[in-house]
Amino acid sequence: MEGLLTDQYSIKPVLLISCMHRSRRILLHFEAVDSAFCAWLNGVLIGYSQDSRLPAEFEITDYCYPSGMDKKNVLAVQVFRWSDGSYLEDQDHWWLSGIHRDVLLLSKPQVFIADYFFKSTLAEDFSFADIQVEVKIDNSRDTSKDSVLANYVIEAALFDTARWYSSDRCADLQLSKMDSIKLNLSSSTSQGFHGYLLVGRLDMPWLWSAEKPYLYTLAVTLKDASGNLLDCESCLVGIRQVSKAPKQLLVNGHPIIIRGVNRHEHHPRLGKTNIESCMVKDLVLMKQYNINAVRNSHYPQHPRWYELCDLFGMYMIDEANIETHGFDLSGHVKHPTLEPSWATAMMDRVIGMVERDKNHACIISWSLGNEAGYGPNHSALAGWVRGKDPSRLVHYEGGGSRTSSTDIVCPMYMRVPDMSRISRDSNETRPLILCEYSHAMGNSNGNLHEYWEIIDSTFGLQGGFIWEWVDQALLKDNADGSKHWAYGGDFGDVPNDLNFCLNGLIWPDRTPHPALHEVKYVYQPIKVSFSKETLRITNTHFFKATQGLEFSWDAHGDGCKLGSGILSLPFIGPQKSYDIDWQSAPWYPLWTSSSAEEYFLTITAKLLHSTRWVEAGHVISSTQVQLPSKREIVPHVIQTKDATFVSETLGDKIRVSRHSFWEIILSVQTGTVESWKVEGVPLMTKGIFPCFWRAPTDNDKGGGASSYFSLWKRARIDNLHYITKSCSIQNKTDHFVKIAVAFLGVPKNEEVSLPRWKKTKIEVDVIYTIYGSGDIVVECNVRPSSNLPSLPRVGVEFHLDKSMDQIKWYGRGPFECYPDRKAAAHVAVYEQKVDDMHVPYIVPGECSGRADVRWVTFQNKDGFGIYASVYGSSTPMQINASYYTTAELDRATHNEDLIKGDDIEVHLDHKHMGLGGDDSWSPCVHHEYLVHAYPYSFSIRLCPITPATSGEVMYKTQLQN
């Protein structure tokens, strides 16, 4: 009965197995139905329920036909797509109605265990835990409360799950039994829970944390007076302490760091319906990418999710199903948080969440909901939660995230300077944990490292939850049998959020986005830094030393491997560091004997043993540091033997060639290369053009009229074409020729009546120096108009023959990276094919870039191609190469719509604007990653490459010793 999607309402008959017995009580349990429903059994209305993310349970004992009768039990369910509860369920996600979780039929004795609440209180030195188990007995059909104790026995026991089996793997319950928890008749139970209290004490308990998710098994039993077992309930429980200190959230006495993500329930085929394999996959990926916390956005999730988070070790904020966006546009209606008539509905949702999930160790905080304003009703919710469960914190962002209804300062998308300001506020004694930050919409998550630089170094800042985990697209079948990722509106659904729900770190099929590598890096628990000839390795775990890790090192000079090895270290305790002296390190002799220009050292930490979520050998941390250079870095020059060549002007063409080795033809009219061949093999088909435009990302479009995209459009940067003001041979010798070109960047279709100087947006002077060796040095001088906004990029574009599909580069990689999202991308030599460079974001835009590239080669399968590198004193480049043109990436609305071009479009950028990602609805690229409309000068070296040479060799020819 899972996943039944409906329109306005539907009635679903379901046949029940007729195995009921009059001596048993029968309960019908719906784990979740969206948004409301009525249920009938055998024509009798048994109830109504709403709240699409919490269970509803009905006793149907009196309406069932018992076994042995010829009559069949028929259940009919009418599901309402909308209800008044929908006004409290206006979250940003797919609105998919129906029965989306399990429906259970339960058989219980006449008197049974209705509920229980496991609590533990740790001694100050954690040497023992006092255990309490509140038990509620349902005896409504049998006896009074007093007679329960006379006729029944309530017991509880705690088992050590790790010792569940003996050495021969046979179950031995007695061996694993840790404590018997006895009934305490003198104590009453807490708020909202009237029943029986069982107490016990456990000496030297193993504590639960996300780092060490140690679990015990709790068993609660109900027996009759003769000792016969009548009912039993059991679950896994963790013993841990959540507490507060000034500006700190503590778990087991330590101020943990939240390295979190927000998670909607989403399956690419089943929508809001959960399957366990998908939940496990999420947790495996989260753990592998160093994520230790999840916020259930924005509703209670499937019960199995909590059990898995207990098992895997994941701190959790559990959130009530309350969100009220619709009221933002209804100023004439009193907001629910201010209206007493809504208080009961809001309270019911919070109580239902806490009562369902209270026994899960992973939950460290209860959330009162999301984006529902703030009012007296929230005060009531917070008051009930604090009274019911003082062992956890209360979280709520609404009303500015600093109201009395939250124990955590938990803002959304707060900027780094504001975080710093709050951390310094002596009047604010609560910790700051960002409930949402780094909006992962499309090609995003720039600036992430800046958040973690301040979090890692500032008291009172304890991390946050990235928005969000998974792209909420659904797999849609096309008429031709193919499939594509569909988003809002693709099913004709109105209203919809268009692509605004495509803001995950992974695709719907759980394939990681490139940004997830950056998340893994800033979240990694082993930190490495280098300063003053000392390498420091820090273990940021709070509960684990480094016994289970193997450390290794890897040293490179100019991209070439110098050496590697295992790094022998003493165990580093939690929150401790170990320093390695530079001159005593194993890589020091390699550094002293190398003549490279630049050196990089990588320190890696791997797991020695397999875990529940990964095999042994998994890399949990990898940091690259740049070692000092042994000599002054001087501008690069070409050191090549002089070679004679032919240079001639044929009409409006300039032809430069050397025998049958290479030939370059430039157009005097356009000032660009029309053809470049090496040994008859076509390399460049058109270029080299100035380029300042990129296919807009989602973040570029955020902010309406003030967005970067809007500013670029108004300035016509997206519509520039280049008029060749002049093109001439400046200097010519037997060994080189200089050709000077002046470009004017003018918007297409600009009024011809305007004088040229008024139309020009950007002037670019290019000098080609072509050497007899086949090298071309391209010197570019860019002069933008002073009234232009910041630019998407400053660089050159050219097109290569489509066979030049094998790319090798020395720079950051191997995955996509940009100026403000490159901390995880190590500098090394990488190889890929053009097709593999493309990143298939569901909505296309700028993608596939690689940052800080020193040199790059583009070759065909036979080894012929083009080499490009920085030259002179130019800084490393941002590159990308794609079969999809910038215009095509801008045109297509789905990745599947993209049409490959007939050649490869290559960009070599001197400057490229950052991606941003603080949010996706305002211009938020940090200042240092903007490309201001200033003059720029840079140089690039291009030359042919053959099977006989390599990029490494070519690069060394321009390094001055």
Residue 438 contacts residue 917 (beta carbons within 8 Å): yes
**Closest of 560, 945, 960 to residue 773, by C-alpha:** 945
**How many Cβ atoms sit within 10 Å of the Cβ of residue 620?**
20
Which pair of structure tokens corresponds to residue 585?
Answer: 């390190």
**Closest of 128, 134, 176 to residue 156, by C-alpha:** 134
- Between the alpha carbon of residue 877 and those of residues 126, 193, 310, 796, 825, the distances in Å are 55, 65, 46, 11, 14
| Residue 139 neighbours by CB under 8 Å, 6+ apart | 110, 111, 145, 148
| Residue 8 neighbours by CB under 8 Å, 6+ apart | 80, 81, 82
Positions marked active-site: 371, 436
Burial of 70 (0-12, 13-18, 19+ CB in 10 A): exposed
> What's the rounded Cα separation, in Å, for the pair 693 and 885?
11
List the 762-771 sheet strands across, edge first: 720-732, 736-747, 762-771, 776-784, 936-945, 865-870, 855-859, 806-813, 826-833
**Closest of 351, 331, 502, 427 to residue 844, by C-alpha:** 502
> What's the rounded Cα separation, in Å, for the pair 854 and 848?
17
Residue 290 contacts residue 519 (beta carbons within 8 Å): yes
| Residue 624 neighbours by CB under 8 Å, 6+ apart | 600, 601, 602, 826, 827
Residue 271 contacts residue 94 (beta carbons within 8 Å): yes
- HSE, CB side, 13 Å, CA atoms: give it for residue 351: 13
Residue 582 contacts residue 590 (beta carbons within 8 Å): no
Single-letter residue type at 382:
A
> What's the rounded Cα separation, in Å, for the pair 54 and 353?
7
- For the chain, what is the total number of helices (H) and then of strands (E)? 16, 53
DSSP letter for 254, please. Answer: B
> What's the rounded Cα separation, in Å, for the pair 295 and 316?
6
- Between the alpha carbon of residue 156 and those of residues 112, 200, 664, the distances in Å are 14, 9, 86
Q: What is the CA radius of gyration of the chain?
A: 33
Residue 63 contacts residue 26 (beta carbons within 8 Å): no
Contacts 24+ apart (CB under 8 A), 186-192: 189/117, 189/134, 190/117, 190/134, 190/387, 190/388, 191/384, 191/387, 191/388, 192/351, 192/355, 192/384, 192/388
| Residue 571 neighbours by CB under 8 Å, 6+ apart | 545, 546, 547
Residue 350 contacts residue 320 (beta carbons within 8 Å): yes
Which residues on neighbouring strands pair with residue 603, listed in sequence order? 553, 623
